[in-house]
Structure formats: C-alpha cells, structure tokens
Structure 1
Amino acid sequence: MEPLKIVIADDHDSSRTLLRHFVSLLPHYCIVGEAATGEELVQLVLKEKPDIALVDINMPNLDGMEAVKSCKELLPSLQVIFTTGCDEFAVEAFKIAAVDYIVKPIEPTRLFNALEKARKFIQLYDQPEKRKSKRLDIKLQNSILFIPMEDILFIEKESRKTVIHTQAEKYETNEPLNELETRLDHYFLKTHRSYIVNLKKVIKIEAVGETYWARFSNSDKVAYISKLKINDVQKKIIHLH
C-alpha cells in the first residue's frame, strides 16, 4: 500500500510542528500540505485529495467543523481526526463521521491509534467487493460500522436509539431514523413511524389487530407495517419481485 496522504489544519504553528513531528515517526504516512484556516483546508483537500485530515476546530473565519463538512462533500472518502483544545464538539464530530476526536495536549500514542483506525477504514473503503455491495455506514459510540444493505432486515426506532436488525445481530446507534432513511437503497420503505423495512427480505405479512407484521426468512424478528402503509408495501413488494 502506498503511503497515506495527510493534511494538517491548525492555526497555531506550534501545533502543526508537533503533529508533523509525530507523523514523521511513522511509516506509511506522508504529509502533503498544511493549512492555518478552514478556507485553506478546503482548498488543500480539493488540490491534494488526501486520505486523512488532522483538523483543529477553533480556527479563524471558517472553523474546522464547517470546513470538514465542505471537505466531505468534495471528498467523501476523506478520514478526519479532530485535534482540539476542548471536548464540547465531540458529539457533533461523530455526527459527521469523524474517525476520532483528540483533545490537546496530544499524546503520540493516542494519535498513532487514531491514524491506525483511519488506515483500517480506508482499506475497507477501497476493497472492490465493498464498493460493489452498497453499505450503510453507521456510527456506534466512537466508531463506524459498515453494514451491507442486503444484510439489513429492518431498522427500528426504539426510545432514543435507532436499532439496525440483521438476521443474526442488532446494532444500536444515536443516528435518527429519518436521517438513515435518506441513505438507504430503493428497496427500503418506511412502513411505520418507527420502522424502515428491507422489502426484498419480507416473506410474509400478517394482520395483527389494527396493524400488520412483516416476517423474514430464518428469523423470529418482526417489523410493523401501519394500516396507512400496507397498500404501498404490497405494491412495492410485487414490483421488486
């Protein structure tokens, strides 16, 4: 594997120097540019197409968080590690799929572990079989899980959590159901205010009182279908098959 390209964005020279020194201690990584503002970072990402960005949040004008949102639109594969003096933005950082969030002063081992995590995500992203099979990338606490969409039976809102069900597993995330819905393939349908179902996996629909249950092959799990949605579900299942 060729060295992974890194850009550093921080408005303090001393912080950039320290990060540059730490990265230089590792094989398989090379720094291809530095930025002192959010605007400079966006331009740098556009020019260099890096693999990883080490980004401070508190920078003048365009802050690191907003700059990263622009960078991810330009380069979705970019892996971002925030390096910042405060921990108040951690939740927002993981909402935009940051690999890690490191609070200064930066310990070298902490940075090395974050870079290794980013490298593993890049390897996953680059695998041809992963590109062929569409995935749903979900944030689990401080990591990201890549689930092939074909493996998902349904997604359920459960209290304040969203639960993704496969045949054998279930995964909890804080990402809203409506947000996940926008990233799913055409064979998923919101069948109920709290359920999104993979209609390709449905083998049976049962009437239960005022609602309906969707059943799946080799699974005891059920998903709800509302009375208002049952006709849409049936039409779409017929179309898919």
Structure 2
Amino acid sequence: MKIRIELDESLTEEEVVIYCRQLGHTVLEIQRMVSDIIEKKKRFPLYQKDKEFYIPLENVLFFETAEKGICAHTAEEVYQVRYKLYELEKMLPGIFMRVSKSTILNTGKIYSLERKLPMPCVVQFQNSHKQVFVSRYYYKPLQNRLEEERYLK
C-alpha cells in the first residue's frame, strides 16, 4: 500500500481520495478512521440561556424536539439548538440517524436496544440514564446501521 500527499493551493477544502483495486477490510478501516477524525473535530453551537457552548458532536447522545425547540442531550446536560430537526439531519455527520419524527441519535453512543412488542424500541446510552424511543418505521434501518458499523469496526 502506498500513501501519497499532493499539495494544491487552489483547493478550498481538503479532500481525501482512496484508490483501490477492491473494497476490502483494510480500505474500509482507513475510511472509517479518517471519517472519525473529521467528525470528532466538528463542534456545534449549543446554548443554555445566554451562554454559548461548543461541544464536540461525539459527546452528543441525541437531539430531540421539546416545548422550547430542539434540544441536544449529552450524558450530563441538555442544551438548546437553533436549528430545525430537518436542518440538523442534513448537517450532522453519518454517526447520527433519525429514529423518530422527533429524535436524531448518535449511533456511536448506543449501549442497548430493548424491543417489547407492541411497544417501540427503547435505546439506552453509554454512561447515562437517558433513553429514547425508536419508532417502528426506523427500527429496521437502525438495526442495519448498527450492523454496518459493527462490520467496519
């Protein structure tokens, strides 16, 4: 395997391109690692009253609609977000996924899924008492996403 870096001052944004003969485990692992580095660098403006916070997205467990707008939940705190849920869905990196009309969660922070028919699935998070419900419509896509992530790890 060769690694080559080309400098191009005309670029407005860095780009990583991987040329490969076939899509194997090593190439997928490289892609996942590069994506993880990029996603961990992203910060998002979150608010509590008059104070603005820049929390790494990897610390956010989920976003949900609430009475006063959209909230971002970390393991310990709740913050306000000044975007609509559909706007967040477009802006957030691939580790986030919509799981109901009112919730987008961080699939990397899922600790467990509990499904009790006919009730919706309940997701519990690592190092937190917080949980969210996954609607029946999003349950299978969530399972598929978790299966893909398991394969990439």
The two structures share one fold, judged by TM-score above 0.5: yes
Q: Is the 8 A contact 1:163 1:172 kept in 2?
A: yes
Partner of 2:53 in structure 1?
Answer: 145
Which ranges in structure 1 are unaligned for 5 or more consecutive residues? 1-73, 75-128
Residue-by-residue CA offset, 1:112-160 (whole Å, 9 max, x unaligned): xxxxxxxxxxxxxxxxx99962212235555532110110111111124
How far apart are 1:232 and its partner, in Å? 0.4
CA deviations over 1:184-229 (Å, ceiling 9, x no partner): 1101000000000000111211124431111111211001211011
CA–CA distance in 2 between the matches of 1:224 and 1:131?
Answer: 25
- The equivalent of 2:127 in structure 1 is 218
- CA distance change for structure 1 residues 132 and 161 in 2, over 3 Å: closer, same or farther? closer
How far residue 162 of structure 1 moved from its aligned partner, in angstroms, is: 1.0
Which amino acid in structure 1 is aligned with residue 114 of structure 2? E
Write out per-residue CA displacement over residues 151-178 of structure 1, whole angstroms, 9 at most, x where no aligned residue.
0111111124211011111112343222
Give the TM-score normalised by the residue count of structure 2: 0.65
Which residue matches 2:144? 235
Q: Unmatched 5+ residue regions in structure 2?
A: 1-11, 13-36
RMSD of aligned Cα (Å): 2.6
Give aligned pairs, total: 114
Structure scoring higher RCO (CA < 8 A, sep ≥ 6) equals 2
CA separation in 2, counterparts of 1:185 and 1:130? 9
- From 172, 177, 181, give the equivalent of 2:80: 172
Find the residue that maps to 2:146 and give its secondary structure. helix
* 1:200–1:130 CA distance, 2 compared to 1 (3 A): closer
TM-score using structure 1 length:
0.43
* Greater helix share, structure number: 1
The one-letter code matched in structure 1 to 2:52 is I
Distance 1:132 1:198, change over 3 A: closer
Q: How big is each residue's C-alpha offset from its partner over 1:88-123, in whole Å with a ceiling of 9 and x where there is no partner? A: xxxxxxxxxxxxxxxxxxxxxxxxxxxxxxxxxxxx
Percent identical: 26
Q: Which runs of 4+ in 1 moved over 3 A?
A: 129-132, 138-144
Q: What is the letter of the counterpart of residue 236 of structure 1?
A: R
Contact kept in structure 2, 1:160 and 1:174, CA below 8 Å = no
**Could you tell me how far 1:181 is from its partner in structure 2?**
2.0
Task: Report the residue type matching 2:81 in the other structure.
Answer: T
Over 3 Å counting, the alpha-carbon distance change for 1:130 and 1:233 in structure 2 is closer
1:154 matched to which residue of 2?
A: 62
